[in-house]
Amino acid sequence: ETGVTQTPRHLVMGMTNKKSLKCEQHLGHNAMYWYKQSAKKPLELMFVYSLEERVENNSVPSRFSPECPNSSHLFLHLHTLQPEDSALYLCASSQDPGGNLGYGYTFGSGTRLTVV
Amino acid sequence: QKEVEQNSGPLSVPEGAIASLNCTYSDRGSQSFFWYRQYSGKSPELIMSIYSNGDKEDGRFTAQLNKASQYVSLLIRDSQPSDSATYLCAVGGFKTIFGAGTRLFVKA
């Protein structure tokens, strides 16, 4: 495996379910991110982990819970979601947590989430 | 609230033409700027980064930055149908902020 791998690719869940999204990066990067992408809207930053510590929680509802057990793995735990949470959830990694060195992000393929 | 603005398009250009994509940003202290390409149903991929005023060229792509005007642009020379995608402008920093993207169609 190379790059950033996300599983599952597609997920349909009911509002009372609990599920988890998984992200793994094979690039040796030291920062990982969760973004939400909804139709016609900019990517919304949800969480930032730098060196395994959460350093940003961008006013995300508590029904989304991130976990970063090590620098290569990132999870997003989901529970009691709402239909408006249906979106593409993207994981990204970077070797430049400060974001000013010009390296940018490597994104995973995303998880298309549908809440019914 | 930091913002990145892009024209949503679609921008339609004939094959072989120059496509010009524009972006403005609100945070005057921003230091690094990125262009990502996103094909339909795919995730964004980084195509250019720039952090100094002026032009930066990479193959058919040229990024232009004017910090005084808070303006970033991407030129695609000799546009190809395979360039048809949504182009996302992003402003770096600890929390990279993305624009909503401009859809580009290159007509064969």
Residue A89 confidence class, pLDDT cut points 50, 70, 90 = very high
Report whether B15 contacts B107 (CB < 8 A).
Answer: yes
Taking contacts as CB-CB distances below 8 angstroms, the residues of chain B near A109 are 42-43
Q: How far apart are the CA of B4 and the nearest CA of chain A, in angstroms? A: 9
- Which tens digit of pLDDT belongs to each residue from B49-95? 998 999 999 999 999 999 999 999 999 999 999 999 999 999 987 67
Which one of B34, B43, B46 makes the best mutation probe of the A interface by having the most chain A beta carbons within 10 Å?
B43
User: Around Cβ B53, how many Cβ atoms within 10 Å?
Assistant: 11
- Which tens digit of pLDDT belongs to each residue from A13-66? 999 899 999 999 999 998 999 999 998 889 999 999 987 677 777 789 999 999
Percent of chain A with pLDDT over 70: 92
The count of residues in chain A is 116
Q: A8: cis peptide before it, omega within 30°?
A: yes
Identify the contact set of chain B against chain A, taking CB-CB distances under 8 A. Answer: 4, 8, 31-32, 34, 36, 42-46, 49-51, 88, 90, 92-101
What pLDDT score was predicted for residue A2?
74
Taking contacts as CB-CB distances below 8 angstroms, the residues of chain A near B42 are 109
Report whether B95 contacts B3 (CB < 8 A).
Answer: no
What pLDDT score was predicted for residue B70?
96
Cα A37–chain centre separation: 10
Is pLDDT at A115 greater than 80 in this prediction? yes
Side chain identity at B81, as an amino acid letter? P
